[in-house]
Structure 1
């Protein structure tokens, strides 16, 4: 009977406690929140002492400004027996329908759910000062958060709202354990974490710009294993359907994101000593990019960077000071979606579209080490073009050594107009580029050659004044110079050498590209025209384009007739003009003292007589007319031969005024 009576008393006490505890919990919670300045309401509280669980419904708290939180339901289950061992074991934790407000302010205070709390750095300082003699442990089991909505605002120094984001989360599920215990003195680190995490339906909305900032369908972190903070391992991470930075919509741009992909997989992840990250494989699939360049810059990206400029500077400083290292064994990116760059800086906007992208990089590291890495990149560009590049070497070293090759086929050059406008002062009306690239970097020094084949290139100057200024600055009359290299099929072949320091901070793209192309054109012209009898070529492209001289056609004294030697020489010149249909030639006939002597008198017998007989060098008007006639007939015979016998168009041959040069050579000078 005593046992039964004791049992009844215990049951009655438990029932009284069960009935009283919800009221006590509600009173304690309400009083605490009200002491913090929040008006609080709490719905039903269901407490189970035997099953060690509690469920609270409809909790809300608001401050005078209307900020705070609303929680639809929270449930918690634990183990009583663990308390005897000074351990708190939470088997399960779940929240549903949480709405939370947070305000960040420049005075280093954070308001979360209507509560003013100290920032994390101060909290961390307080935690580290707690007594080390406490030996309680805690184990946290499976957890779940459903329908979470957190709105964050930040005010700058001037009191203006600089950040207004709302974060929506459909579900966050943790299946595993988080254990903290100081019992085992043999273990230096008390943390143990094992399990998997799944996040779904994440949306971050930018209220200031009234469009989504980030959307993610799901993130799955599989098999997290942390038995010590010095070694953190993750089997795999998968991110599905991510999109970031939705563009500002207008008449030509829809509400598509700047950056998105279908899946991102990270496999075999290790974090050592919290500063050394190692990843086995990173694989990115179905990448899509849409970048729009305007006069103000990369519109959507720049606008976001401006909003987060202070955060970016802080994070950069933290990364620089932390000495963080990373190594990725292999990175693979593939995409069958468009990667689009839209340039709206000029009157005729143009679009560069990359498709069928495949990018593979092996051994990626941020450490200056002599470790060989390799990379390959292939993609289609425009309607018919494609690019293939591959390289290998120790490019992370202080003095990198890299070798590589690549080719570009069928690139529509109209997309390069912004570069030619800026650096060459010309617009590309039409043209197609093929290129073979071989590059070599030896201990930081670049020594490479790029071969260009340009087909059907048509350039027009922006205006005469700018074109003249460009030619004067760089000694580079572009159209005139390139016309010397045009083949019969209107193609241009050019080898452009590239040299210099790989990491030179003073590298000037404008100076480098113009200097390299200018030098390459000069060398190509000289190399091409030398077999055709080139006898003079200036170093300057300005002079080169106006005075490229071939070997003259020599005549016997007082003769205007063409010989077999002349025919052979003119055949070579006509072959050149057939191969270079854009060039014109100028014929200048010359007569000399020997022509005069042959026509009018006997030659002087000695050099002394030739030097001192001034009367012998004088030419009368009648004699000059005849000498100029001979010079004119010489150039006329050559022009007639090239037109009648070799099929050269008359418009491509210009005759200059005849000249009498006593000390000159009886000839016809030919200038391109």
Structure 2
């Protein structure tokens, strides 16, 4: 019956429409109430954990794949343990058909998280991790390994893509306490972390990652207990990071404005260098790291704008050392306690095939420069020393840990306090068991006055003024040191320490350093000394500073001997006994009763005149000695009378006059050779009638 069928069709359509409307209303009600349900469930779950939580807003749009959470706050005992201002996740559903999860946006703004360790219990966001994990249910049985392998082989890889990832205003704090005492409290925050291009993760038998670029900005770590900054970083930027199987590659990594360990505000020069270490920029190019070998290869690493503060206080302590010790202790307090029941893992033996060996590191080029400076402040000596190494430049080429005999080239240069410079060029084998290196170094125009406090202890002389120029050739082969140093000292003057300036128990050294320097000084007020140093640096008693001090004194003495021996220098042993007046030359001998100079004596005086004219600061004393042979010649005696010589006053005066004539003849001959009169000093005549030696005139400085 046609009419009946038509009526049934209309009823069926009406019932179907009502059913669809009912389903739509139910779904609408579900999606309308779902955010409220989620908020209620989240707050209830936190309440069960003893945490007062509030979730202000939840938005779920399943059709467009959008989830948004806002205004999450969690307190435990009135203390903030978790805060999330805004979380947005946008997912594209269609790529799931191709075994691909595409997250078009993942952004977090205003996240704070607290981690705590209280009496060896770990807490995260106010949750006791041990209790939380213990209520996670039974662990499911592990699947059959063969079946799992077959499933992995047959399954196509799953791909996760994140088109945009943005984290902004992120903060976290970690603290540790025991028996109510806070042991460590650190806070970290950064302004933003952005991945502007698609991040791709391929989940297969081996996970692979492709990251075109990422940037972290304004990172800071602070130690809350002393209220001091531990680290500040302007930005980190990386480009072309790839992880494929066991290999990680990175095209470029750069850091800007790095500052490490803030100095206490009360310390000296804190306004000049507020951090113990700072860097304007760090650049790394073309890195490849293999987890399998393991091996790391880097093309280049560069540091720019380095600032380092080396500070020793008045107690002889480096203020940075207590900071580092406290940092190590607090970090140990934050780490989970070691399980005493764990068995130690066996160490790999590189000599056994199949076992992993030590990390192999290669670095083709390393450079340091672009305004790098090192500040040296030593308050442990008096007067305190402040020095600045400016424009520090260092280039290193060819580092390879797998080739211990390979020579790594080094080129170093620095400006010392703006007015002098130092440079070094050579090679080193940094990975041999014993030290092996060789380099040539040069120091030009260095003001010696600031290093006087360090010289005093080894030489027991203090520097009054002067510049140092030095050329060094250094070689160390299998810990055997060989140094040749050529020192050129300009307008360099020292004076011995007084008794009250010497440390307790120290005595003045025998070597008259100041005198030796004057003896070596030329007409341009310049001193040249060669100092050889050798020794075994592996000897625990070896001290380079002490050795240099001893060798310096010996080198000065040897230089004096070498220089003055051609002029008739004698009795050097008495010269190093402490008195400049005992540095003597061969005397001028005269025939008895004669005051005339021989041709040989005139030639020797010509040589001495050359010495005196070249060393204007030098003076010689000529001291005549009249002996019994002069008296016997005057009296016409061939042998000494048994009763001795009996002389009248007039005869004695004649002998003294003869001695004076000899010294005057010597001085006149020297003055004729353009020697200044003040450089020739004549002594009183000594009459020694008990001596039968040939009469003479002594020469001494």
Q: Give the structure-2-normalised TM-score.
A: 0.81
Q: CA deviation at 1:208?
A: 3.5
Whether the aligned pair in 2 keeps the contact of 1:206 and 1:212 (CA below 8 Å) is yes
Instruction: Tell me if 1:219 matches 2:241.
Output: no
Alignment of 1:441-520 (within 5 A): 441-466=476-501, 472=507, 474-520=509-555
Q: Tell me, in whole angstroms, the C-alpha distance in 2 between the residues paired with 1:620 and 1:351.
A: 72
Aligned to 1:294: 313
Q: Which moved more, 1:423-432 or 1:233-242?
A: 423-432
Whether the aligned pair in 2 keeps the contact of 1:46 and 1:54 (CA below 8 Å) is yes
Instruction: Tell me if 1:307 matches 2:326.
Output: yes
Q: 1:394 to 1:299 in 2, by over 3 A?
A: closer
Instruction: Tell me if 1:38 matches 2:66.
Output: no
Alignment of 1:312-461 (within 5 A): 323-336=358-371, 338-346=373-381, 348-365=383-400, 369-461=404-496
Q: 1:80 to 1:412 in 2, by over 3 A?
A: same
Aligned to 1:638: 666
Whether the aligned pair in 1 keeps the contact of 2:575 and 2:582 (CA below 8 Å) is no
For residues 26-60 of structure 1, the C-alpha deviation after alignment (integer angstroms, 9 at most, x for no partner) is 33432332333211111111112123331110111
Aligned to 2:700: 671
Aligned to 1:114: 126
Paired residues, what number? 648
Aligned to 2:676: 648
Instruction: Tell me if 1:164 matches 2:185.
Output: yes
Q: Tell me, in whole angstroms, the C-alpha distance in 2 between the residues paired with 1:582 and 1:194.
A: 75
Q: CA deviation at 1:602?
A: 4.6
Q: CA deviation at 1:242?
A: 1.7
Aligned to 1:57: 70
Q: Which moved more, 1:374-383 or 1:480-489?
A: 480-489
Q: 1:489 to 1:243 in 2, by over 3 A?
A: same
Whether the aligned pair in 1 keeps the contact of 2:385 and 2:451 (CA below 8 Å) is no
For residues 257-288 of structure 1, the C-alpha deviation after alignment (integer angstroms, 9 at most, x for no partner) is 33222221000112222753322101122223
Q: CA deviation at 1:459?
A: 2.7
Find 2:32's aligned residue among 1, 8, 19: 19
Q: 1:495 to 1:355 in 2, by over 3 A?
A: same
Q: 1:359 to 1:345 in 2, by over 3 A?
A: same
Find 2:170's aligned residue among 130, 134, 148: 148
Instruction: Tell me if 1:173 matches 2:190.
Output: no
Q: 1:464 to 1:158 in 2, by over 3 A?
A: farther
Instruction: Tell me if 1:75 matches 2:81.
Output: no
| SS of residue paired to 1:295 | coil
Whether the aligned pair in 1 keeps the contact of 2:612 and 2:675 (CA below 8 Å) is no
Aligned to 2:281: 263
Instruction: Tell me if 1:210 matches 2:227.
Output: yes
Q: Tell me, in whole angstroms, the C-alpha distance in 2 between the residues paired with 1:14 and 1:476.
A: 103
For residues 283-325 of structure 1, the C-alpha deviation after alignment (integer angstroms, 9 at most, x for no partner) is 122223344432145755234213224378999xx9x999444
Whether the aligned pair in 2 keeps the contact of 1:537 and 1:544 (CA below 8 Å) is no
Aligned to 1:232: 248
| SS of residue paired to 1:336 | strand
Q: 1:482 to 1:355 in 2, by over 3 A?
A: same
Q: Tell me, in whole angstroms, the C-alpha distance in 1 between the residues paired with 2:697 and 2:275.
A: 68
Q: Tell me, in whole angstroms, the C-alpha distance in 2 between the residues paired with 1:524 and 1:469.
A: 31
Instruction: Give unmatched runs, 5+ long, in structure 2.
Output: 1-12, 336-344, 349-356
Q: Tell me, in whole angstroms, the C-alpha distance in 1 between the residues paired with 2:394 and 2:466.
A: 27
Q: CA deviation at 1:169?
A: 0.3
Whether the aligned pair in 2 keeps the contact of 1:162 and 1:307 (CA below 8 Å) is no
Instruction: Give unmatched runs, 5+ long, in structure 1.
Output: 605-613
Whether the aligned pair in 2 keeps the contact of 1:474 and 1:514 (CA below 8 Å) is no
Q: Tell me, in whole angstroms, the C-alpha distance in 2 between the residues paired with 1:545 and 1:32.
A: 93
Instruction: Tell me if 1:538 matches 2:573.
Output: yes
Q: Tell me, in whole angstroms, the C-alpha distance in 1 between the residues paired with 2:479 and 2:381.
A: 37
Instruction: Tell me if 1:47 matches 2:60.
Output: yes
Q: CA deviation at 1:641?
A: 4.8
Q: Tell me, in whole angstroms, the C-alpha distance in 2 between the residues paired with 1:129 and 1:376.
A: 62
Q: CA deviation at 1:4?
A: 7.0
Q: CA deviation at 1:480?
A: 2.6
Whether the aligned pair in 2 keeps the contact of 1:78 and 1:89 (CA below 8 Å) is yes
Whether the aligned pair in 2 keeps the contact of 1:194 and 1:224 (CA below 8 Å) is yes
Whether the aligned pair in 1 keeps the contact of 2:497 and 2:508 (CA below 8 Å) is no
Q: Tell me, in whole angstroms, the C-alpha distance in 2 between the residues paired with 1:417 and 1:352.
A: 13
Q: 1:509 to 1:406 in 2, by over 3 A?
A: closer
Aligned to 1:565: 600
For residues 574-619 of structure 1, the C-alpha deviation after alignment (integer angstroms, 9 at most, x for no partner) is 3323333444434343345644543334546xxxxxxxxx856955
Q: Tell me, in whole angstroms, the C-alpha distance in 1 between the residues paired with 2:438 and 2:513.
A: 32
Q: Tell me, in whole angstroms, the C-alpha distance in 2 between the residues paired with 1:313 and 1:670.
A: 74
Aligned to 2:590: 555
Q: 1:654 to 1:626 in 2, by over 3 A?
A: closer
| SS of residue paired to 1:484 | helix
Q: Tell me, in whole angstroms, the C-alpha distance in 1 between the residues paired with 2:238 and 2:545.
A: 47
Q: Tell me, in whole angstroms, the C-alpha distance in 1 between the residues paired with 2:394 and 2:220.
A: 29
Aligned to 2:340: none
